[in-house]
């Protein structure tokens, strides 16, 4: 059995989050009634002409800078001709020979190793409409309907170099790319809604060889998991073929999620001739260098930069930093809380604890309220158990943490004169256990603490309780 190197390249389509479409002023919001967001331009009516949405160019430019690309002042639009019911003009306006961006890269961590994937190009193009089949699939449908709401939404196509080596790396790359697009605010990148889509090219070559094998394109990879599984399947299929001495056919295959395999769609010979030529309805883009530099300056802190800052400046672990980077809203909250005089570790612990669950359910609390809660907890005004109660209350109340403590009478009881009788009561009802404790079963201490806390309805100061119990049990 020969061993093989896997070579993977990705083509990613990202729908840009502009308010209006790429070539007309129609609304782009998701989920509107079918064909309610269309006009002569995006329906391809005779005589309608396209106009470039500047916002789409801005977003694509920002994506280019975020991916370390060269953004070209001059780029050009082309027509890619093919017939399909969801393509109103029977050509797609895209950029072929002169794309907006070329030559970038994305760096990301894989198993604690920083890896880099080269970006070959990024270009702007328009989205097609959406076919809705009457049956489960196109083959067993009596008819199909077309929704053109999606037609003309701006896309960027991001093409990587063939320098991804494992299915897992492909998934990691796509996850990082998605995060990056979210950070720069150009797309909501929802794979389930189709605003992020990925096709993969994969080939195998004998380990160490510099000659690329025949590549196969995989389509219909509708989730991160599908991308990884589809590539894994294809990796196996190709290596088995090669081991049997058979050749790989250059073809497009589609991922069948249910069957867990790829299925041949068309071979290279059947590939359509797109007859691409310059779009005569649109002059080339000639970007103003000043405008471009303003877009460059507007690129915010990117995920990798933030990761490095969280580890370097705040001393967080890779695990904690990754959590805060992946959940950018949590990261933002951390960065707001960090200068407020609270220990960084306790902020992270708080954010990653019960708060994470509650915030996902109800939305975030303000940094100010969180800071107050953390302070009164660390000062011992309330116990950790009470802090949890206050936290839950904060999501439904407009009061400050202190006000909630007051209102609910949650203040910790630390007065030994009040706690003493409770301790005595607890010990007297568990005389047998007290005896066992005194005979060396010291782990029962925690049980007594728990009983006292319960009897004090959680309001007892644990330090005082500990002290009182130790004194009583030492006798």
Partner 1 sequence: MRKLAQLLETRQISSTEVVEHYLSEITKQEPILNAFITVDAEGALAQARASDLRRQQGMALSPWDGIPIAVKDNISTKGLKTTCASRFLANYVPLFDATVVSTLKNSGLPIVGKTNLDEFAMGSSTEYSAYGVTRNPHDYERVSGGSSGGSAAAVAAGEIPWSLGTDTGGSIRQPASFCGVVGLKPTYGWVSRYGVVALAPSLDQVGPLAKTVEDAAILFSLLAAPDAMDATSADARAFPVPDWDESFIKGLKIGVPEEFFGDGIKPEVERAVTDSLEFLAGQGAELVPISLATNEYAIDTYLTLVTAEASSSLARYDGVRYGVRVPAEDSNTMFAKSRSAGFGSEVKRRIMLGTYVLSARHYGAYYEQAQKVRTLIRQDVLAAFQQVDVIITPTTPSAAFRIGAKQSPLEMYLSDLFTAMANLSGIPALSVPCGKDARGLPLGLQIMGSHFQEELLFKVAYLVEKYVGVEGGTFSDKL
DSSP 137: S
Residues in contact with 93: Cβ distance below 8 Å, sequence separation at least 6, in sequence order: 22, 23, 50, 77, 78, 79, 80, 125, 126, 279, 282
DSSP 362: H
Number of residues that bind partner 1 (CB under 8 A): 30
- Compare residues 84 and 319 and give the one whose CB is closer to partner 1: 84
- Contact pattern for partner 1 over residues 281 through 320, marking x by CB under 8 A: xxx-------------------------------------
Considering only 50-58, 110-118, 348-356, 420-428, which stretch makes contact with partner 1 by CB under 8 A? 50-58
79 contributes a contact to partner 1 by CB under 8 A: yes
Number of residues in the chain: 475
81 contributes a contact to partner 1 by CB under 8 A: yes
Considering only 79-87, 294-302, 339-347, 467-475, which stretch makes contact with partner 1 by CB under 8 A? 79-87
Give the nearest distance from C-beta 79 to partner 1 in angstroms.
5
Q: Give the residue, chosen from 100, 146, 155, 422, that forms a contact with partner 1 under the rule CB under 8 A.
A: 146
Burial (Cβ within 10 Å: 0-12, 13-18, ≥19) of residue 297:
exposed
- Compare residues 85 and 206 and give the one whose CB is closer to partner 1: 85
74 contributes a contact to partner 1 by CB under 8 A: no
Range 413-432, binding partner 1 (CB under 8 A):
none
250 contributes a contact to partner 1 by CB under 8 A: no
Please give the C-alpha separations between residue 28 and each of 55, 93, 116, 377, in angstroms, as whole numbers: 13, 18, 34, 47
Give the nearest distance from C-beta 46 to partner 1 in angstroms.
4
Q: Strands, E, within 68-149: which ranges?
A: 70-71, 74-75, 78-81, 91-94, 101-110, 113-126, 130-133, 144-147
Range 15-44, binding partner 1 (CB under 8 A):
40, 43-44
89 contributes a contact to partner 1 by CB under 8 A: yes
Cα–chain center distance at 144? 33
Cα(216)–Cα(12) distance, rounded to whole angstroms?
16
The sign of the torsion formed by the CA atoms of 437, 440, 443, 446 equals positive
Q: Under the rule (CB under 8 A), what is the footprint of partner 1? A: 40, 43-52, 79, 81, 83-85, 88-91, 144, 146, 273, 275-277, 280-283
């Amino acid at each position: 059995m020969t061993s093989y190197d896997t070579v993977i390249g990705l083509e990613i389509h990202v729908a840009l989050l502009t308010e209006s479409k790429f070539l007309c002023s129609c609304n782009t919001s998701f989920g509107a009634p079918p064909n309610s967001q269309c006009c002569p331009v995006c329906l391809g009516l005779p005589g309608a002409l396209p106009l470039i949405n500047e916002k789409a160019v801005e977003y694509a430019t920002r994506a280019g800078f975020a991916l370390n690309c060269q953004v070209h002042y001059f780029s050009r639009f082309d027509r890619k001709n093919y017939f399909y019911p969801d393509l109103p003009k029977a050509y797609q306006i895209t950029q072929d020979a002169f794309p907006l961006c070329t030559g970038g890269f994305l760096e990301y961590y894989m198993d604690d190793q920083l890896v880099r994937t080269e970006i070959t190009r990024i270009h702007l193009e328009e989205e097609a409409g959406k076919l809705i089949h009457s049956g489960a699939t196109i083959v067993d449908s009596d008819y199909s309907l077309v929704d053109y709401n999606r037609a003309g939404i701006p896309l960027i196509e991001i093409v990587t170099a063939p320098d991804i080596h494992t299915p897992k790396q492909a998934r990691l790359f796509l996850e990082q790319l998605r995060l990056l697009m979210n950070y720069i605010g150009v797309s909501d990148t929802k794979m389930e809604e189709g605003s992020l889509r990925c096709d993969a090219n994969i080939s195998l070559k004998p380990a160490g060889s510099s000659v690329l094998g025949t590549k196969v394109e995989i389509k219909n990879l509708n989730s991160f998991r599908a991308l990884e599984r589809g590539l894994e399947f294809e990796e196996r299929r190709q290596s088995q073929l090669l081991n049997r001495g058979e050749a790989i056919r250059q073809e497009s295959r589609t991922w069948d999620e249910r069957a867990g395999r790829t299925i041949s769609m068309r071979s290279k010979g059947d590939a359509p001739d797109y007859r691409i030529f310059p779009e005569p309805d649109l002059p080339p883009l000639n970007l103003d260098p000043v405008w471009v530099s303003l877009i460059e300056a507007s690129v915010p802190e990117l995920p990798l930069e933030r990761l490095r800052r969280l580890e370097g400046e705040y001393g967080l672990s890779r695990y904690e930093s990754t959590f805060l980077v992946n959940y950018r809203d949590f990261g933002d909250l951390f960065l707001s809380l960090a200068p407020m005089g609270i220990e960084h570790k306790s902020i992270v612990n708080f954010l990653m604890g019960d708060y994470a669950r509650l915030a996902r359910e109800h939305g975030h609390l303000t940094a100010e309220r969180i800071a107050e809660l953390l302070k009164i907890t660390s000062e011992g005004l309330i116990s950790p158990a009470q802090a949890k109660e206050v936290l839950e209350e904060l999501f439904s109340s407009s009061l400050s943490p202190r006000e909630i403590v007051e209102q609910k009478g949650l203040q910790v009881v630390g007065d030994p004169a009040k706690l003493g009788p409770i301790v005595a009561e607890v010990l007297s009802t568990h005389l047998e256990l007290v005896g066992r404790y005194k005979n060396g079963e010291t782990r029962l201490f925690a049980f007594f603490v728990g009983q006292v806390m319960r009897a004090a309805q959680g309001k007892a100061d644990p330090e005082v309780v500990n002290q009182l119990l130790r004194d009583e049990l030492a006798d």
